[in-house]
Amino acid sequence: MQTRVTLHRDFVTSIIDGRLYSAFLEHMGRAIYGGIYEPGHPQADANGFRQDVLKMVRELAPPLVRYPGGNFVSAYNWEDGIGPREERPVRLDLAWHSRESNQIGIHEFADWCEQAGIEMMLAVNLGSRGIDEARNFLEYVNHPGGSAWSDERIKNGRKDPWNVRLWCLGNEMDGPWQIGHKTAAEYGHLANETGKALKAYDRSLELVACGSSNPGMASYPEWEATVLDHCYETVDYISLHMYFTNHEDQLGDYLAIAEQLDRYIVSIAGVIDYIKAKKRTRHQVHICFDEWNVWYHSVQQDRRVLEGTEWNFAPPILEDVYNVEDALLIGCVLNTFIRRSDRVRIACMAQLVNVIAPIMTETGGDAWRQTIFYPLMFASRYGRGKALQLAVDGPTYQTRELDDVPCLDISAVHDEEGGFVTLFAVNRHQKEALDLNVALHGFENARLVEHQCLNHPQMKAINTASQPDQVRPIAGDGVGVEEGALKGNLAPLSYHMIRLSVGA
């Protein structure tokens, strides 16, 4: 089970955009209410924000958070979330079959983001609404003053604009489940006209058009081609979404899903290149993978809520409890984003708290880190810099859909300013350890400074409020630098963060 990897200081895929490690919060379930916001909780501040949750969010250090949806945004009136709280309307949210109190709106969410040190990525409603509401929202959020909507913001207590740079033009408009679902041509035209209006205000804004909700859609990848044909010159990103499942409990197949994700990215990159050539333009559109995560554990419970007759406030839905298998897959997904960071510039794990999330809370009780928290934390902390190209020669395995899946899934990032190279590695083999040998060309003075390993004898092991640290990374051993190479042994079904000092 020997695996040889070659990296070279000068062989660089891209300079990674730090927004690759971003997050998502939607008005959905207990993500907002009972997640980041729980007035009266012992850990809540004067504004109702849970400080225990905020501490964990800061550990993840996502640079960006997408808000307020998601499916929620396609019937959302942003004006409902401004002005005196006691006067805000209660609405029925058709997307998640619940009641929305609007106690958290743009002002409150922006305050939370400022506490967390996170920038906002705002989505506009192109389902039930359109251009006017989008441009008014932009004016409210970004204009200094002296206009109707900016003066309304000032009257509501915020003098300085938030100056949000990144805007999503709707959400999953290819999905028949979406309020205001449109054909690709209808949506492409609307996205272009909305984008033109927003950029008429500020041409430096970055805009994200809706791509496919998942690669299984019948309209994929024609949707992207048609949408971009309409709005290529206006937008800067096309969004992709993908959720990962293990319904049949086939671990080898499950961990190989990252290879299918890679093909998804490559296919859409090809569509982008085709439209770019067709338009004969120098403008480059990138991929914004603004929804991704494991999602399948809670499906039956979700159905009871979503198909029920009651309209509850913040009902618990999509509260997947993640195990060791899920953490390994998340590690592989993040490796894929790093290796494809020349095309994927932004990615948002969906979501941040309680709803398919790395952080969980009990109402009135504790908060804890799920298993998937740790690969995202390590990537966010140490995965910034240059993505290095790797040549990997090692054992592979087959799944029902894929041939030659590498047992070793690995990425490497060079932080030139700090003087570090960090490798993120997953051994997907279920029984055998991998004998690793990484040639470090251009890093002759490398030395090991940190090795963290996440594995567990029980692959279904989880973290809970009563056992929050049952699955957590520990200091690894058996890995070191010898004669210009990183050598060592990676246990079966294990995740590793290996950090080398290489000098500035």
Catalytic residue IDs: 172, 291
- The pair of structure tokens assigned to 380 is 């966010």
Say if residues 99 and 312 touch (Cβ distance below 8 Å): yes
The rounded distance, in Å, linking the Cα atoms of 261 and 270 is 14
- The pair of structure tokens assigned to 389 is 């190209």
Chain-centroid distance, C-alpha 377: 12
| CA nearest to 315, candidates 100, 18, 60 | 100
| Residue 384: strand pairing partners | none
* Half-sphere exposure in the Cβ direction for 67 (13 Å, CA): 23
The rounded distance, in Å, linking the Cα atoms of 157 and 170 is 27
Chain-centroid distance, C-alpha 360: 17
The rounded distance, in Å, linking the Cα atoms of 494 and 335 is 14
Within a 10 A sphere around the Cβ of 89, how many other Cβ atoms?
A: 11
The rounded distance, in Å, linking the Cα atoms of 288 and 276 is 17
Within a 10 A sphere around the Cβ of 58, how many other Cβ atoms?
A: 13
The rounded distance, in Å, linking the Cα atoms of 54 and 64 is 14
SS3 of residue 164 by DSSP: coil
Q: What DSSP assignment string belongs to 337-388?
A: HHHTTTTEEEEEEE-SBSSS-SEEE-TTS-EEE-TTHHHHHHHHHH--SEEE
- The pair of structure tokens assigned to 464 is 């809970």
DSSP code of 323?
B
Q: What DSSP assignment string belongs to 176-226?
A: TTSTT---HHHHHHHHHHHHHHHHHH-TT-EEEE---S-TTSTTTTHHHHH
